Structure 1
Amino acid sequence: MRHDPFPEEALRRDDFLGGMARIWQPRQGLGYRAGVDPVLLAASVEARPGQEVLELGCGAAPALVCLGVRVAGLRLAGVEIQPAYAALARRNIAENGLQGEILEADLSAPPTELKARSFDHVLANPPYFEEGKRSAAPDAGVELALAGALPLADWVALAAKRLKPRGTATFVQRVERLPELLAALGTHLGSVEVLPLAPREGRAPRLILARGRKGGRAAFRLCAPLVLHARASHLEDGEDYTNVVKAALRDGKPITFDG
């Protein structure tokens, strides 16, 4: 758990979405740093101007900021258990000119002000690993972001409770935990869709995006994989993202579950 604020020398401001969003993060080795996963998560949320969006476990809020920059006029909210990252999230939202608030809270005991609200969309990047089932990271704050005691079912249940009717909840998660995530989505939401994220053509997906709708009645849908990298292997320096992924990461374009 990271309580104390990060000193300025421990931070760097990174460009996201080709510089349209700028995010303060810990420098390498000094805390949890976001990769492409929260950017792809944000790109997949079908939000419209004026809607309300909640992120569970927002960290420094890279996903919220990327979504807010892509879709103007959103009202953003995040919940983060670690005070140091919650402070970064507030800073990132403010310095990117967005409207939002960050609550410091444990998701296992949501605060009253969160229980009183409902949202058009909820998104989350829950820890990819279960607590105690891997070698822990040396930094306690990083470890809390990577592995958590709260079951995936509780993340989904909380998301569903905070959704308005017909609202959507979207998650990014490791493919190994897909059965657990699907069981929870099927219990609390409907119209469930899964978009596998394959590292390269012909490679097995490592991550998935999964979405459910409150009150949805459509049949389960497994979408064709979104391929992240263009060539069969990485042969030279520099990026080799496919056009769709590059547009999402660098130009702030949306990712659809329809391909």
Structure 2
Amino acid sequence: MAEQLMPENVELTLDQVLGGRVSLFQPIEGYRAAIDPVLLAASVPASTMTAGGAGRIVDLGCGVGTAGLCLLARLPDVSCLGIDVQPALVDLANRNAAASGLAGRYRAIEGNILDHRRLRDVGPADHVIANPPYLPRGRASVSDHPVKALANVESDAVLADWVAAARAIVAPRGHVTFIHRADRLPELLSLMQECIGGLAILPIQPKPDEPARRVLVRGQRGSRAPSRLLAPVVLHEADGRFTAEAEAVLRAAAALAL
């Protein structure tokens, strides 16, 4: 069993994302969902599912369920299984599914991506999504809050383990999508190219004149198509307002085209 890092009776907030389509109970302290899992969810198209648009998603490191629930709010014929090592977050993810009216299509379970036997029981999935810890261990300041630390900094599982877990779960010809820091793109591409082809890379810039800080990378198991570097998505205008494209994704559940 995983260590329970979040104390009992922790104070929660109830937040609305995706224009109120998704409700999230989450701890008032520690790691809290930002826009990255919303962007990850927006990058998954119905075309990567089985015939007719129906399909099964697995969300690795689901946290409180943000990415999977946002995806289900946009794609009505899809189901999602979330996996997280922290049982308290698994409980919140399932609670959030119920609060969002999505419990019939969403379920979160406790699991460690290093448990290969467990992963074999989870698959196959049409699409695997992941928003792993961004910071490599040993080269980052670790938060004093244990839940936030585990979400932000790699622990026993490093990026190679996350890619291997996605590869173990995804079905033949299925798709895998990661969101990660832009400065770790070379490492992520190297790992994904060993087993996943046809990579599409979408840089995400904070503002028009600033370099990308995040990247979305999607590929297909068994594909031999060449990689593609796409035009960036810009989140904010120069004055700090969300761009029209970002507003549509974050508020109106629009898709991001990869």
d(CA) in 2 for partners of 1:111 and 1:24? 31
Count of residues paired in the alignment:
248
After alignment, is 94-103 or 61-70 more displaced? 94-103
d(CA) in 2 for partners of 1:112 and 1:206? 33
After alignment, is 174-183 or 42-51 more displaced? 42-51
Does the alignment pair 1:120 with 2:126? Answer: yes
d(CA) in 1 for partners of 2:176 and 2:165? 10
- The answer to whether the 8 Å contact 1:2/1:141 transfers is no
d(CA) in 2 for partners of 1:212 and 1:113? 20
Aligned to 2:43: 44
Query: Relative to structure 1, is the Cα distance of residues 128 and 183 closer, same or farther in structure 2, using a 3 angstrom cutoff?
Result: same
d(CA) in 2 for partners of 1:6 and 1:18? 30
- How far residue 14 of structure 1 moved from its aligned partner, in angstroms, is 0.5
After alignment, is 41-50 or 247-256 more displaced? 41-50
* Paired residue type of 1:46: P
Task: Give per-residue Cα distances to partners, 1:49-108, cap 9 Å, x unaligned.
Answer: 420000000000100110011111312101100111111011111222222221211111
Aligned to 1:77: 81
Q: Equivalent residue of 1:19, what SS?
A: coil
TM-score (norm 1): 0.91
TM-score (norm 2): 0.91
Aligned to 1:237: none
- How far residue 6 of structure 1 moved from its aligned partner, in angstroms, is 4.8
Does the alignment pair 1:141 with 2:147? Answer: yes
Aligned to 2:178: 171
Aligned to 2:198: 191
* Paired residue type of 1:183: S
Matches within 5 A, 1:1-259: 2-4=4-6, 6-7=8-9, 10-27=11-28, 30-47=29-46, 49-98=53-102, 99-112=105-118, 114-115=120-121, 117-149=123-155, 150-231=157-238, 233-234=239-240, 240-257=241-258
Q: Equivalent residue of 1:59, what SS?
A: coil
- The answer to whether the 8 Å contact 1:6/1:26 transfers is no
After alignment, is 159-168 or 188-197 more displaced? 159-168
Seq. identity, %: 38
d(CA) in 2 for partners of 1:251 and 1:185? 31
d(CA) in 2 for partners of 1:200 and 1:40? 16
Query: Relative to structure 1, is the Cα distance of residues 105 and 200 closer, same or farther in structure 2, using a 3 angstrom cutoff?
Result: same
- How far residue 113 of structure 1 moved from its aligned partner, in angstroms, is 6.7
Query: Relative to structure 1, is the Cα distance of residues 70 and 196 closer, same or farther in structure 2, using a 3 angstrom cutoff?
Result: same
- The answer to whether the 8 Å contact 1:60/1:89 transfers is yes
d(CA) in 2 for partners of 1:22 and 1:95? 6
* Paired residue type of 2:76: A
d(CA) in 2 for partners of 1:35 and 1:70? 18
Long gaps (5+) in structure 2: none
Q: Equivalent residue of 2:226, what SS?
A: coil
Query: Relative to structure 1, is the Cα distance of residues 134 and 3 closer, same or farther in structure 2, using a 3 angstrom cutoff?
Result: closer
d(CA) in 1 for partners of 2:147 and 2:124? 29
* Paired residue type of 2:207: R
d(CA) in 1 for partners of 2:149 and 2:123? 30
* Paired residue type of 1:15: Q
* Paired residue type of 1:146: N
d(CA) in 2 for partners of 1:116 and 1:4? 25
- How far residue 202 of structure 1 moved from its aligned partner, in angstroms, is 2.1
| CA RMSD, Structure 1 to Structure 2 (Å) | 1.6
- The answer to whether the 8 Å contact 2:199/2:218 transfers is yes
Task: Give per-residue Cα distances to partners, 1:104-154, cap 9 Å, x unaligned.
Answer: 111111453753520110000010101221111010111000001322122
Long gaps (5+) in structure 1: 235-239
